[in-house]
Structure 1
Amino acid sequence: MNQLQNLLYDLLIKTKHVEHAALLNIKEKSVVASTKGFHMQPHQAEILLDAFKNTVGIRKDGIYFLGKFYKCIRADNYSIYAKKENQGFVAVKTVNCILVATYAEGMYPSVCVEAVEKFGDYIKEMESKRR
């Protein structure tokens, strides 16, 4: 496991309210790190990138992601929350990447959101130190 995979595991999966997670590079539209069993294709990364460009549209129409249609709960320039019945995903955008995490039935979406947002804040802080 690389350092980013370790962070995904330690900061998200260990909460027991995140099923899978991945970190996407915006510029390259590629997966930089992901948790075991979470395989995102480049076109799925593009779906998220497009969603952040069209937050009004996905709030109104929902979003098709990872083979499922989700109702959008929140969408702005920095965060997208979406759900389908008792499961969903959270995506947080920084300058260079998108952090995405899923939750499954029996997991608390609020804990997933909090963990992903905190990790996103950490990434934003690291990016600002590099500038």
Structure 2
Amino acid sequence: MSWQTYIDQSLLGSGHVSKAAIHGHDGNPWATSAGFNVTQEEAVAAFRGIADPGPLTMSGIKLGGQKYMFLRNNDGRSVYGRKGGDAGCVVVKTGKAIVIGIYEGGLQAGACANVVESLGDYLINAGF
């Protein structure tokens, strides 16, 4: 399966993720949803923030030019952020990549997190 297929089918196709991207640990994009442009610098900062959330607690999580307030870090595996009342982000680290999911427009945070975390688990088990 291509990386874009993971974005289109596994993430956006779930109906629980409004924007998504997969980047390597070096920040280079592997696949992204239309109109969602996470820069290499944003991806690297999110990746580093998973291991050391200190900088994210101060500056927030920036993805696609949007700033999300840092909410929490899950044991060096993922970070969560929130923007306003009904939008947020989930970033999950795998062995070689980070999977980024954004929810907005009435989508539920928990449902988005489950979808992004599940894809992360699948990619880890597949060696990615």
Mapped pair 1:71 → 2:69: yes
SS at match of 1:127: coil
Q: Kindly provide the CA deviation profile for residues 56-93 of structure 1, in whole angstroms up to 9, marking residues without a partner as x.
A: 453x4351403333222221300111101111110000
Q: Residue 19 of structure 1 contacts residue 102 of structure 1 at CA under 8 Å; is this kept in 2?
A: yes
| TM-score normalised to structure 2 length | 0.86
Alpha-carbon distance between aligned partners in 2 of 1:24 and 1:117, rounded to the nearest angstrom: 15
SS across alignment from 1:105: coil
Tell me the SS of whatever aligns to 2:127: helix
* Aligned equivalent of 1:61: 58
Structure 2: any 5+ residue segments left out of the alignment?
Answer: none
The answer to whether the 8 Å contact 2:42/2:62 transfers is: yes
Q: Secondary structure at the match of 1:110?
A: helix
- Contact 2:60 2:68 (C-alpha < 8 Å) held by counterparts: yes
Contact 1:95 1:127 in 2 (8 A): yes
Q: Is the 8 A contact 2:46 2:61 kept in 1?
A: no
AA in 2 matched with 1:65: K
Which blocks of at least 5 consecutive residues in structure 1 are unaligned? none
The total of aligned residue pairs comes to 125
Give runs of ≥4 in structure 1 deviating > 4 Å: none
Q: CA offsets, 1:16-36, max 9 Å, x none?
A: 22111111111x320111122
1:3 is matched with 2
- Fraction of identical pairs, as percent: 25
Q: Greater Rg, structure 1 or structure 2? A: 1
Q: Per the alignment, do residues 64 and 118 of structure 1 end up closer, same or farther by CA in structure 2, a change over 3 Å counting? A: closer
**Are the aligned partners of 1:24 and 1:32 in contact in 2 as well (CA < 8 Å)?**
yes
